[in-house]
Every structure is written in C-alpha cells, then in structure tokens.
Structure 1
Amino acid sequence: MRFSTFSRFLSALGLVGVSYAAPTALQERAATALSSSELASFAPFTQFARAAYCPNGLKTWTCGAACNANSDFQVTLTGGDGNEIQIYYVGFSPSQNSIIVAHEGTDPTQFLSLLTDANIVLASLSTSLFPGVTSGTQVHSGFRDQHAKTASVILTEVKRLMALKNTKNVALVGHSLGGALAELDALFLTLNLPSGTAIKAVTYGTPRVGNALFASLIDSKVLDFKRINNKDDIIPIVPGRFLGFSHPHGEVHILGPGRAVACSGDDNATDADCQIQSVPNIFEGNILDHLGPYEGISISTLAC
C-alpha cells in the first residue's frame, strides 16, 4: 500500500494538519501487562480477520495460510465485492465452538471503500436494526451505511447456524474498516439475538466508530470486547475526539513482539503505554503499523 494512497485516505478523513490534544479532564487508567498465554489466545481471531482479505478460496476455505491456521472452520456464507460492499463471511468453528462473522477492512485501491471511510458525519442508528437505541446514540455515517448493507443477511445466517450447531457463541472479527463493522455487528447482534447469546468481539486497528453514548452502549451490552492496536498505528486515533467520536473499553495495545498491555476504561488514557498517549497525533504515528504484525501475523491483501 503506497504512502500516497494513505495520504489521500487521511486527507479525506480531514486528518492532515490536525493535532489531537488530549482533553484536560482525562481519568487516570492503568495499563496491565498481558501474559504470553493471553496474547496467544488472540491468534485464531487474528487469522480470521486476515482471511477476510483473501477472497480467492474463501468460499471453500482454501485461502492459504490464513485459512490453514483455522483448518476446522466451516464457511457457510460469503459476500461482498471489496468495493461497494466489503468482503465478509460467516461460518462455524468447532475448535472455538462458535459462529464467526468476519469483515474485510479498507482496500485503499478501491475508491468506494475510501469514500465510506471519508464520510465522517455522525448520524443516529436505525431503530429497525438497533431496537431501543436512542437518537442521541450516533455513529460514523459511512460505517453505519456500510453495515446496513449486510446486517440482515448476516443475522439470518447466524440464527440458522445457532440452531443447526446448537451453540450460543458468536464472535465478530475485523481489521480497520472491518473492525468498525465488527463493532457495529457486536451491538446489532446483541440487540437482535436471544438473551443468553455469548457475544465476543475482537477487532484490529479499528478507527473510532461512534460518540460517547455509543461507546457506553458497547461497554454495557458487549461484555467480551477487545480492540487490539499495534504499536504506533495512527488509525485507532481517528476520527478525532474533537469531532465527537469516542472508543469503548477493551483496548489491548501491542508494544512489540511478546509485549502488550490491556488498558482499562474507555478512550481516556493517561498511561504512556496506551494508544492515545503513545500516538498523540498522526505525525507521531506509523501507518505501516496498521498492517501489523499482530503477534507475528500481518493483516492486509498483501498477507494472503
């Protein structure tokens, strides 16, 4: 992915020349080192997120190393074109005893995907898709509109698999824009699946998706939520908080090979090892860290 392409991507988001100073009323929150076993537990989900970038062989789960890493996975639904609709897939993982829903991230060579990211106006969620959510709960309108294109078909397939496989476990994964869609899916499925469904979300290099009310709703409804950031990646600090955006809880920040911390609280870090302190603005970040490696696993079309 060429620097000029990413530069246009950031310009479209309104990020070039903007510094993200932390609000003055930050709450102290601690960063706790993760054990090697905790880090290793993310690997299957990292590979699921990677596979979403590999459409060749996705339907038959023969997409190369990303598919081989979860060799028992049974894909049952695929869709998207990587441009107007991001590639996505749904299936069942016997080893995880879980339904997996994965979304592809942004391919900067695809113009419509780039436009989706650039449409940063906050807008209310659809109450037909997100029942009971108030109009004050707002999200990035581009992400919202992209999510709506696949929400119903994914819900139908998840319900079918839950009955067929006799499981209550559902995991949402994605990287970059795919992570934003997985975050929206996590709330959407929580609100639309039977009580007692165990929803898990693991996202990578995810931009901010919604406002503080949305983040609070994720905090209260999606109890198993992890958003993993790699080193000095700049994407997790955009769109800016000054535009009304906020991350929910669940930050895991990879500092280097075998080294990562879990940051408590939401998007209000004061600990130097948490993302918004280590990358206070886009000029102190490294866009190449967006691609990984996430504990040895790179995620992009180049990693297929």
Structure 2
Amino acid sequence: MLVLLQLTFLFSSVLLLSSTGFAAVSFPVTKPVPRATISTLAPYTQFARAAYCPQYKLHRWECGVACNALTSFQPSLVAGDGNGIQTYFVGYWPPEKTVIVAHQGTDPTRLVSDLTDMNILLDPLNDTLFPDVPSNVKVHDGFRNEHALTAPIILAEVKKLFKYRHIKKVTVIGHSLGGALAELDALYLTLNLPANTSVHAVTYGTPRVGNLAFAKLIDKMVPNFRRINNKKDIVPIVPGRSMGFAHPRGELHILSPGKAIFCPGNDDAINWQCQIQTVPTVLRGSLVDHLGPYEGIPIGTGACT
C-alpha cells in the first residue's frame, strides 16, 4: 500500500496532461502478437525482474526465480546503490550470444529515486556522451543526469566483453525508471560502439523519456527496440505529451494473459487497444498493472523471490 500511495504522489503532477498531444491520423492498424512471440519475451522479463534483487545475490547469480530461469547468464559487473544510482548489472548470455545490460527501476520507498522521476524538465543530451546529436533532441533531465553516472562504466564493460567473447551484440533491458535508462543506453551504445554492433532494447512499463525529436532518433538509430506495456499501467502515459514528451515506436501492449498487440507509430492515439487510448489519464489506469504480471512474471521491489 505504501508503494502504491507513493507512486500515486509521484505521478499526480501530470494527472491531466496525458490525453492531449500529437495527431495520429496516418497510423496503420494494430497487429495481434502470436503466442509464440509473446513467450520469447520471458527471458528478458526475468532479466528486468532480477535487476531489483540485492547486489550480493546478483554477484553470485542466486536471485531466486529470475536467476533460476537464466542459469547460463554470467554476470561480470554489478553496481549502483538502488537510490542515487539504480542497481544495474552487465554480463554475457550464451543462448543469444549477447551482452546483457539491465537496470533496476524505481523503488518509491527510496527518496532519491523519486526525485529523479520528478525532475521532468526537457534538456539537450550531453554532447560528449551523445556525439553529433542535434540540439533539438531533448530528454527528461532526471533520467539524463542519472544515465550519465553509469554510461562510461557500462560502455567500458560492454567493450571488454565484446573483445573477450568475440561478439558484437548487446541487449539493454529495464522496467520503469530502469526502462528509461535502458532507452538512453540503447542510443548511447549505438553512437559509441562500432557501426557493425547490433544493439537491441527491451523495456517494460517505461515512462516517456524525451521529446518527439528524441523518439524519432531512437526510431532511426535503434530499430531493434521493443517497449512492453501491461494492461492499464499508468506509467507509460507520463510525463504528458502536452509537456513535449513522446515515445519511440515499438509498443507491444499486453491486453490479457496470452493476448497482446503490436501498436504502430509513436504514441499511438488512434487505436483503442493501445496504451494511451486504454489509459487516457492516470485516473483511468492501474498502478498494480505497472508491477505486472507480464505474462505471469511480476517485476518490482517485491518480486525478487
């Protein structure tokens, strides 16, 4: 109950801002997601779940259900404090021959995490971390500032694993605030790794990270991008579009167990089954759905068992 009350406070400032925004008259129709495709997302969901677990468990890769579902994963870096810097881990996942980078999401009981979410000014990206990105590309100031604390460390670890494992694929994953950090990582790694690197991103219940120019840049630079929304989760509709925020493409909206759709475009506002039509304001959404279950897998502070 405490978590739910704090999340309600966290998003109350954007309560009425999510139902207005960009026209969407040219979007194509939604497409059902085959059950077989939905089932392939389970490992990524477990990685997002694991990011909430205590660091001593992640170092040993003994974090309960999530780690047991991914026994071949080999963590090489675990860091953060869950407050000023969200816990994150990097390692090698043999089945997909990819480096995994996963970020913890918001723990509303930790003050600094809440303040990071609340700092919703739009500012340009750091041109040292994001070279040659136009100045009209802007992102959530709190997300940008936290991402900068870990980006060079993560890049160095990814490069080390690429060299050691002789691979060129990295997959970034996160839930909630962790998804926002993963979204920024996806662009950052694309810009700072060799051109033949394959960068993939899978995020869950992610708030809007930047403006439409940022969303379009993600669309262009990170084509292997999937953002997963669960039922009536309110978090993906904040900060509001009237404040200048927009999502990139790649929405997969879980409607019920075993049933999901692909939603086209940036912030699909025309198809009734997509997130911002299902949840036009946070008053019509659900905080519980933010924590899942995502096809039977819960994600959040209480899901590390």
Length-normalised TM-score, structure 1: 0.97
Q: Report the counterpart of residue 28 of structure 1 in structure 2.
A: 27
**Pairwise CA distance, 1:63:** 0.8
Shift of 1:134: 1.1
> Residue 66 of structure 2: SS of its match in structure 1?
helix
Q: Is the 8 A contact 2:21 2:242 kept in 1?
A: no
**Partner Cα separation in structure 2 for residue 211 and residue 91 of structure 1:** 31
Unaligned runs of 5+ in 1: none
Cα distance, 1:19–1:220 mapped onto 2, change above 3 Å: closer
Letter in 1 for 2:37: E
Residues in 2 aligned to 1:150 and 1:172: alpha-carbon distance in whole angstroms: 13
Matches within 5 A, 1:51-90: 51-55=50-54, 56-90=56-90
CA contact (8 A) 2:151 2:185 kept: yes
CA distance in 2, matches of 1:145, 1:27: 35
Shift of 1:23: 4.3
* Equivalent position amino acid for 2:9 in 1: R
The CA distance in 1 between the partners of 2:28 and 2:126, in whole Å, is 33
Q: Find the counterpart in structure 2 of residue 9 from structure 1.
A: 10
Report the AA paired with residue 29 of structure 1: P
Deviation at 1:27, TM superposition (A): 3.2
The Cα shift of 1:271 comes to 0.8
For residues 211 and 26 of structure 1, the distance between their equivalents in structure 2, rounded to whole angstroms, comes to 19
Indicate if the aligned counterparts of 2:125 and 2:144 stay in contact, CA closer than 8 A.
yes
Distance 1:21 1:141 in 2: 22
Corresponding residue of 2:226: 226
C-alpha displacement at 1:22, in angstroms? 5.0
Superimposed CA distance per residue, residues 17-48 of structure 1 (whole angstroms, 9 cap, x where no aligned partner):
55623545543331100011100111110000
Per the alignment, residue 210 of structure 1 pairs with 210
Post-superposition offset of 1:301: 1.3
- Greater CA drift, 55-64 or 2-11: 2-11
**C-alpha distance 242-22 of structure 1, shift in aligned 2 (>3 A):** closer
8 Å CA contact 2:18–2:242 kept in 1: the answer is: no
Per the alignment, in what secondary structure is the counterpart of residue 148 of structure 1? helix
Distance 2:16 2:90 in 1: 39
- Per-residue CA deviations over 1:79-99 (Å, capped at 9, x if unaligned) read 100000000000000011100
Aligned to 2:286: 286
Equivalent residue of 1:120, what SS?
A: coil
1:118-157 Cα offsets, whole Å, 9 max, x none, are: 0000000001000110111000000000000000000000
Aligned residues of 1:27 and 1:268 also touching (Cα < 8 A): no
Q: Give the match's secondary structure for 1:62.
A: coil
Give the aligned length: 302
Q: 1:98 to 1:19 in 2, by over 3 A?
A: closer
Alignment of 1:128-147 (within 5 A): 128-147=128-147
* Equivalent residue letter for 2:246: S
What RMSD over aligned residues (CA atoms) do the two structures have, in Å?
1.2
Equivalent residue for 1:42? 41
**CA distance in structure 1 between the aligned counterparts of 2:24 and 2:252, rounded to whole angstroms:** 22
In the alignment, is the contact (CA less than 8 A) between 1:116 and 1:143 conserved in 2? yes
2:296 matches 1:296? yes
Instruction: Give the 3-state SS of the residue equivalent to 2:171 in structure 1.
Output: strand
Identity %: 54
* Inter-partner Cα distance in structure 2 for 1:17 and 1:206: 19
What letter matches 1:81 in structure 2? D
CA contact (8 A) 1:90 1:99 kept: yes
- Cα distance between partner residues in 2 of 1:213 and 1:84: 28
Q: Which residue pairs with 1:99 in the alignment? A: 99
Instruction: Tell me if the contact between 2:179 and 2:206 (Cα under 8 Å) persists in the aligned partners.
Output: yes
CA deviation after TM superposition for structure 1 residue 268, in Å: 3.3
Counterpart for residue 169 of structure 1: 169
Q: Tell me the TM-score normalised to structure 2 length.
A: 0.97
Structure 2 counterpart of 1:151, one-letter code = A
Task: Spell out, residue by residue over 1:225-260, the C-alpha distance to the aligned partner (whole angstroms, 9 max, x if none).
Answer: 000000000000000000000000000000000000
C-alpha deviation, 1:65, in angstroms: 0.7
CA distance in structure 2 between the aligned counterparts of 1:230 and 1:255, rounded to whole angstroms:
7
Q: Which structure has the highest helix share of the two? A: 2
Distance 1:58 1:92, change over 3 A: same
Q: Is the 8 A contact 2:24 2:270 kept in 1?
A: no
The 8 Å contact of residues 20 and 241 in structure 2, kept in 1 or not, is answered as: no
For 1:208 and 1:184, how far apart are their aligned partners in 2? Answer: 11
In structure 2, how many angstroms separate the alpha carbons of the residues matched to 1:301 and 1:18?
28
The amino acid of 1:243's aligned partner reads M
Matched-pair contact (CA < 8 Å) for 2:232–2:285: yes
Q: 2:153 is matched with which residue?
A: 153
